[in-house]
Chains A and B, each alone.
Chain A
Amino acid sequence: MFQFDLLIFGNTGWGDELLISTIMTILVSLSSMFLGVCLAIIITWAKISGNLIVRIIANFYTTVIRGIPELLVIYLIFFGGSATLMYLAKIFGYNGYIELNAFTMGTISIGLISAAYSTEVFRGAYYTLGVGQLEAGKALGLSRFQSFIKVLAPQMLKHALPGLGNVWQITLKDTALVSVTGLVEIMRQSRIASNVTHSPLTFILSAAILYLILTSFSSKAFNKLEEFTNKNDSVTQ
């Protein structure tokens, strides 16, 4: 049953370990979201104004990532990545076992997943603006890059914010899957603790509560951000 005494801080409880693992979850989520958004900007650009080959590659990427389970993507990046590296190392005469850093590989795999979702969000935001904005920028003598940075991007960000909030929630929850690679985040820590103490209910329930706290706080934060970006809308209406 639920044992509160196991959750205290210090040598006898697992409270401090859980806190550290929560920080790890936040770090993995933030870095994968950052990687995802950076990649998504490039892929969106490829989808909107790339040539046929680039567009096909970008569409293939988003279709495949959104069509196969997240767990498979993580396995593929984590085990496939180290297998590829070992193969390359063999060419250079190194025959040992190489294990990659779980944090880096976790960030890359979750980042690749969230990039596919963010791309669709950005693409949707771009299409709500329409080409008129680009044409207006051209009429004012702005270069294509200038009108993207000064005219399109700020407006796109505003339209993309609710969608990005959803992607953030998905990314945060997907980090639980990184536990299979051995990275000690909330899920992994709670499994370790429940194996040691034989009290799975306590720790998995604590993990659920920690995730709930993270997701509800971040949804509050995104609501505040949306209020901020929509401030001028409510004035004009």
Chain B
Amino acid sequence: MNYISSDDRYREIIKREMSKLKRSVKIKVFTSKSISSNQTKIQECMDCGLFMNLIRIYEENSNGFLTIEEMYIDENPQFSKDYDITRVPTVLFIDEEGRELIRYLAAPQGGEVQPFVQALFAFAGAGNYYEATIKQNLDRISPSTIKVMITNSCPYCPQVVAIANLFAIAASGKIRTVIIDIIANPDIGKFYDAAGVPYTVINERPAISGMVGPNEILRALIGGKIRVQY
């Protein structure tokens, strides 16, 4: 897996964008230093050390507004039970009421920088473009999980990820998003027969393959027409 390099243009984008963060936000990253020795069934899908180096770039450039809480599952195996961690590294966005909104089984690098930054800002309370319509239709959405399967070479994946993340943040705990790099997690891709990305699975129903827009995702969540009042 290629991680961000010191001269990567995306490092500059992270620096530029994270410096605009004006509200505090905290996310958890679950890692392990010795995954093979703790006798758990947890898989290491990406190198935790390199992953943390990447995640710290976001934190270091946020003027202290982003806090990354690194959770070592070796030191506290109970974490894996409490937070349903089956592989590391895993990033969780957990709201103030303890609800998991977003789970990343993917590295926010390359094109995935943009949706990750957007999610951090929205999670911190910045404006969310989709929020009004999501709220208007919230009573028609049952508790849902959107799984977005991606690869790092996919130009359309970041756009689907951005929409799914913003939906989850707008939905007050009713929507949970899981972002999965299926090159790093081939077993998940195989489980869903995914051989193309973006590959979006909503509530375990048949997947939507390819680029999918916000109205299509919302319609799939509702199972009917979207109610809109400006």
Mutual binders A and B? no
Q: Name A's B-contacting residues (CB within 8 A).
A: none
Q: Name B's A-contacting residues (CB within 8 A).
A: none
